[in-house]
Structure 1
Amino acid sequence: MKKRFLLLTITFIFIFIGGFFSGIFYSNSNIEQRNIQLAPKSGKQPKQKPAPKIEQTQPNVLIGYVQDFRDPATIDYSKLSHIIFSFAHPAKDGSVLMNGESALSNLRAMVQKAHKQDTKVMLAVGGWYHLHGGESYNYFKTAIANSSSRTKLINGLMEIVERENLDGIDIDFEHPRTEEDAKHLTAFTRSLSSILHSKNKELSIAVYSKIHSVSGEVVTSVIYEPTMFKHVDHVNIMAYDGQWDGEYNAANLSPYPFTENIVNYWATLFEKHGISKEKLVLGVPVYAQPENLSINQASYAAIINNDPKNAMRDRVEMNGTIYHYNGVATIQKKTKLALDNGFGGMMIWELGQDAHGEDSLTSVMAKMIEEKHLEENQFFLSKHIERQKLLGNRQFFVYLV
């Protein structure tokens, strides 16, 4: 996919340059052949018309989170723009904790494999559960609450970025619950962004969907300062886990109408604050939620391995219970929804749970993103070909009288 983007870009440039010079040569030769005498130049300097600007679209991102215990050899990096290795854990004093040597070993192997495919690797800090047990919230909240521990956390993350040759950091603070939390998160994001961007590294942030899956109303218990999003490259919207809204209901994991409300909320918010919607990345689940809570979640891969026909469903009975998930058709609708609304791409939680082969949800999204990119660039290419035809029939330079 990435090689096709590169080939299209190179072709694009050659066509433009060829058209530019052919226009000049065509104009000059016509003047000589017809022996046309140009009017004497005035005392004014000739004014050159600007060459037409080549408009190109950038391919949308496809970001996949992967947990630190996954075997790096099982991931198909070629279809992804970014891998987000999850998680580094903040201590209350600002120290950065990793899940032992095995996690570091997996991270290093993942960096090597991903970079061979031109896929960026970022490190997520935070998550829902902490390495020391319980929610990560209190640890993260305390670490960013004062300048001393906040600076220590930033320095620790940057040390890992540089030592492990990473491409950036992903902030996964789940979730700011007060105005003070939001203020501290903004300060942390702004400072970390400044350092990362000065080193040509990226910063993304995972955010709560902000929409109640049952009522469709905006959730006010999670608070963000919108100005914070100006400092990040990608905003990864966790548009799933709606089953916990109100009474537990597995069917509310991530249905399409829920996602429509989420896309509308974030698109409107960014437009209101003058922030590019291309920063927005729509997240989708590749796991299935059981109606019977005493049974564990199932991976999308397990659903497909049980019966490949399940790829075109969103609900299946298996292991004595009914599971709800997103199949191929729903993922296609969600990808189209995001791209049509100007979002910058798609996000996956979690790569290790995806199926392989033609039923892979990663492959489904990658194909749609590539087709969208090619379609847009073919449109711009046709516009420039038309321009070059016109430019070939007139001079590039005029003299003002």
Structure 2
Amino acid sequence: MKTNSIKWGHQPPSPQSIIWKHITFLLFLFVFMSMATVHAQKIVGYTPSWLGSANDIDYDRLTHINYAFALPTASGGLQAIENPAKLQSLVSQGHAKGVKVLIAIGGWDLGDGGGNDGRFNTLAASASSRNNFVNNVLSVINQYNLDGADIDWEFPEPVNGAPDNNFTLLMGQLSTALHNQGKLLTAAVNGSAWAADGISSQVFGYVDFLNIMAYDGDAGAGHSPYSYAESALNYYKGRGLPAAKAVIGVPFYARPSWKGYNTLIAEGADPYSDYFNGDYYNGINTIKAKTALAKSQGGGIMIWTLDHDVQGQYALLKAIKDEMGTTGGSGVVTLFQHCDYGGYSASLNTGSYTLGQLQALGVANDDISSLQVQNGYQITMYQHDNFTGNVLVKTSNDNCLVNEEFNDDISSVIVAQASSGWSATIEAENWTVQSGTQTEACAEGGQNVGWIDTNDWMVWDINPPSSGTYTVEYRVASPNSSGMIQLEKAGGSPVYGSRSVPNTGGWQNWTTISHSINLTAGQQQIAIKALTGGWNINWLKLTSSSGSRIALESQKSHINHPDLRIFPNPTSDYLEVQGSADMGRYTIYDLNGKTVSNGHNSPQEDHKKIDVRQLKAGIYFISHSKSKKVLRFIKQ
């Protein structure tokens, strides 16, 4: 970066001037870093040669445009670009708005009408044709003043069970050639694991990012549900793709009809729904939920195609851009108005949020039904303002708080790094004993349990370190919505709870569901029973801190000793507890529901001093085993 010198004359600069220069520089650096953070999230739109006009594209809401398609030949050549006037206009208008324009090479059928990757297979198998192809790609990029190339070799096939080495070689050569000229290299890849086994993880280092086509899962409900985006993202990241390079693809069209979103809306479809007259599509709610997922766990959103969108308030591109720009930036927790990540949303970074602060971010009181939490973080939700009332702690996504009895019941929250509570993940196939199930290869790696029918069951050994409330999470997949899991102690009693299994769009389209249960400490066996079958399970996870609940100053505090009180509050050293008779043992919890201190109140005195000097400054709760009352206090 070139800077201009400042002439100070013969007088040395004053201290005030020097301070002001430093402040100005810091402000500039802050603005620059903020801009860099915003632009790190990509919004990539495809537009084809045969559809739409360059003048109709909303460049202000995009970071990249891919022009589809240039078609390769078997010898490494490229056929003439179709509709070059549109491409030239895209480059002119896009560059004027700071949008990068790439040429997409290949496509599903390569112009042959049937998913034929034959020409890619042939050209990549020969060093001379690979060289020819790389040179022709550079020639087209330079001819049209493009910013790079997007390779749409959609189905590289495994060779003897290993990734396609020719695909790896081709992408390696392209990476060297394009990056040496400051150009981008991206690739469109299939969102399903079964169709991506031919792609080596070595390719992840060659590309600037991957456009993950999480659509066309099937011709119906499995076309492009939220769960498909989630499983596709997890698959590629699980294989080593950096989150910043994982761009989630969304469709602006429906299956099975292939109608564009604009056509569906013109016919009367609900822009917020995902189904109309036999067609499955992505409406605004699902598009925003996927964008929130991309923003919190990936590198952006990709669209096929821009030309299927509408103008105005129901534009899907507007929904994407609005979600990318949600107040609070790319926060570590995102709150959603409705279950399954629907309705409005708000993104939160670490910190404490009273009701007034939540409302300033657009969150209404008692209006949140689902949430997404980045790994390593947690959210503590409170029933009432100022961090009072019943509490629920979450360290992972929850698609419906109805199951936690915490739906539309949030008035204040605290977002923080996750505490180190006990957790245990159990692979479903590692059962101690089972009845009626089978295992199979899992798209997320290893095996999962399937062929689950009504009344089938599995048993596992667990050893919780303490008695209390735990969150149990299930990693499940199902092509229908009739499944039901029941968790119980081995033998059938007690029953800890049940959870319905949602339609995820397929047997290998995975999602996580959860609920809170109460467990006793020590070695024991738990069992899953299928109240209704028709689902697969990959693993289950028990966590002591996530999902822990404490009844705080609510109707659950039915008082055996109504005169129980604590003082002084706040306190810096001792807390006095006053009440009648023997109040039993006391327990002090932190904001996460974790026990930080305990002891016993003597029956010989009607108040007791409790030493809290060892506690860090903050908000705590104290409960008594006999009074059943929980009170809040502040340690200064």
Judged with a 3 Å threshold, the aligned counterparts in structure 2 of structure 1 residues 23 and 105 are, in CA distance, closer, same or farther, namely closer
Question: Which of 160, 170, 182 matches 1:200?
Answer: 182
Mapped partners of 1:166, 1:25: distance in 2: 39
Mapped partners of 1:222, 1:87: distance in 2: 24
Q: What amino acid does structure 1 have at the position aligned with 2:235?
A: Y
CA contact (8 A) 2:217 2:224 kept: yes
Q: Deviations over 1:252-302 (max 9, x none)?
A: 1011122222222122222xxxx5310110000000113xxxxx4110011
Which structure is richer in relative contact order (CA contacts within 8 A, separation 6 or more)?
A: 1
Mapped partners of 1:265, 1:21: distance in 2: 52
Judged with a 3 Å threshold, the aligned counterparts in structure 2 of structure 1 residues 373 and 183 are, in CA distance, closer, same or farther, namely farther
SS of match in other structure, 2:149: strand
Mapped partners of 2:319, 2:17: distance in 1: 39
Matching of residue 233 in structure 1 with residue 213 in structure 2: no
Runs (4+) off by over 4 Å: 18-21, 23-26, 53-56, 372-376
CA contact (8 A) 2:156 2:164 kept: yes
Judged with a 3 Å threshold, the aligned counterparts in structure 2 of structure 1 residues 277 and 85 are, in CA distance, closer, same or farther, namely same
Show the counterpart of 1:339: 295
The Cα of 1:75 is off from its aligned counterpart by: 1.4
Matches within 5 A, 1:28-43: none
CA contact (8 A) 1:95 1:156 kept: yes
Q: What amino acid does structure 1 have at the position aligned with 2:271?
A: A
Mapped partners of 1:105, 1:286: distance in 2: 24
Mapped partners of 1:252, 1:276: distance in 2: 26
Matches within 5 A, 1:372-383: 374=329
Mapped partners of 1:162, 1:105: distance in 2: 16
Show the counterpart of 2:55: 73
SS of match in other structure, 2:310: coil
Show the counterpart of 2:19: 22
Mapped partners of 2:232, 2:73: distance in 1: 32
The Cα of 1:25 is off from its aligned counterpart by: 9.5
Alignment TM-score, normalising by the size of structure 1: 0.71
Mapped partners of 1:298, 1:19: distance in 2: 65
Question: Which of 258, 271, 283 matches 1:311?
Answer: 271
CA contact (8 A) 1:127 1:136 kept: no
Mapped partners of 2:183, 2:16: distance in 1: 36
Question: Which of 78, 84, 104 matches 1:124?
Answer: 104
Judged with a 3 Å threshold, the aligned counterparts in structure 2 of structure 1 residues 20 and 109 are, in CA distance, closer, same or farther, namely same
The Cα of 1:178 is off from its aligned counterpart by: 2.2
Matching of residue 251 in structure 1 with residue 226 in structure 2: no
CA contact (8 A) 1:72 1:110 kept: yes
Q: Deviations over 1:3-61 (max 9, x none)?
A: xxxxxxxxxxxxxxx999539999xxxxxxxxxxxxxxxxxxxxxxxxxx966524211
The Cα of 1:350 is off from its aligned counterpart by: 0.8
Matches within 5 A, 1:115-264: 115-179=95-159, 182-211=164-193, 219=194, 222-243=197-218, 249-264=219-234
Question: Which of 60, 67, 91 matches 2:73?
Answer: 91
Judged with a 3 Å threshold, the aligned counterparts in structure 2 of structure 1 residues 201 and 87 are, in CA distance, closer, same or farther, namely same
The Cα of 1:371 is off from its aligned counterpart by: 2.8
SS of match in other structure, 2:212: strand
Judged with a 3 Å threshold, the aligned counterparts in structure 2 of structure 1 residues 78 and 138 are, in CA distance, closer, same or farther, namely same
CA contact (8 A) 1:210 1:222 kept: no
Alpha-carbon RMSD? 2.8
Mapped partners of 2:199, 2:222: distance in 1: 24
Matches within 5 A, 1:278-297: 278-290=244-256, 296-297=257-258
Q: What amino acid does structure 1 have at the position aligned with 2:295?
A: L
Q: What amino acid does structure 2 have at the position aligned with 1:359?
A: Y
Matches within 5 A, 1:311-330: 311-317=271-277, 322-330=278-286
CA contact (8 A) 2:324 2:330 kept: no
The Cα of 1:223 is off from its aligned counterpart by: 1.5
CA contact (8 A) 1:136 1:174 kept: no
Gaps of 5+ in 1: 1-17, 27-52, 212-218, 244-248, 291-295, 383-401
Q: What amino acid does structure 2 have at the position aligned with 1:111?
A: V
Show the counterpart of 1:3: none
The Cα of 1:110 is off from its aligned counterpart by: 1.4
SS of match in other structure, 1:298: coil
Show the counterpart of 2:320: 365
Judged with a 3 Å threshold, the aligned counterparts in structure 2 of structure 1 residues 252 and 110 are, in CA distance, closer, same or farther, namely same
User: Which sits farther off after the overlay, 103-112 or 367-376?
Assistant: 367-376
Show the counterpart of 1:42: none
Q: What amino acid does structure 2 have at the position aligned with 1:67?
A: P
Mapped partners of 1:220, 1:114: distance in 2: 33
Mapped partners of 1:153, 1:136: distance in 2: 18
Judged with a 3 Å threshold, the aligned counterparts in structure 2 of structure 1 residues 181 and 261 are, in CA distance, closer, same or farther, namely closer
The Cα of 1:339 is off from its aligned counterpart by: 1.6
Task: Report the structure, 1 or 2, having the larger strand content.
Answer: 2
Q: Deviations over 1:307-357 (max 9, x none)?
A: 2x610110011xxxx11001000111111112221x111000111111211
Judged with a 3 Å threshold, the aligned counterparts in structure 2 of structure 1 residues 253 and 194 are, in CA distance, closer, same or farther, namely same
Judged with a 3 Å threshold, the aligned counterparts in structure 2 of structure 1 residues 257 and 24 are, in CA distance, closer, same or farther, namely closer
The Cα of 1:130 is off from its aligned counterpart by: 2.2
Mapped partners of 2:129, 2:252: distance in 1: 35
Mapped partners of 1:170, 1:111: distance in 2: 15
Judged with a 3 Å threshold, the aligned counterparts in structure 2 of structure 1 residues 351 and 221 are, in CA distance, closer, same or farther, namely closer
Judged with a 3 Å threshold, the aligned counterparts in structure 2 of structure 1 residues 20 and 79 are, in CA distance, closer, same or farther, namely farther
Mapped partners of 1:19, 1:262: distance in 2: 55
Q: What amino acid does structure 2 have at the position aligned with 1:225?
A: S
CA contact (8 A) 2:155 2:196 kept: no
Mapped partners of 2:179, 2:22: distance in 1: 44
Mapped partners of 1:158, 1:25: distance in 2: 44
Mapped partners of 1:311, 1:25: distance in 2: 50
CA contact (8 A) 2:163 2:200 kept: no
**How many positions carry a matched residue from both structures?**
308
Judged with a 3 Å threshold, the aligned counterparts in structure 2 of structure 1 residues 205 and 375 are, in CA distance, closer, same or farther, namely closer
Q: What amino acid does structure 1 have at the position aligned with 2:78?
A: V
Gaps of 5+ in 2: 1-14, 24-28, 332-346, 352-636
CA contact (8 A) 1:69 1:106 kept: no
Q: What amino acid does structure 2 have at the position aligned with 1:62?
A: I
Mapped partners of 1:181, 1:305: distance in 2: 44
Show the counterpart of 2:261: 300
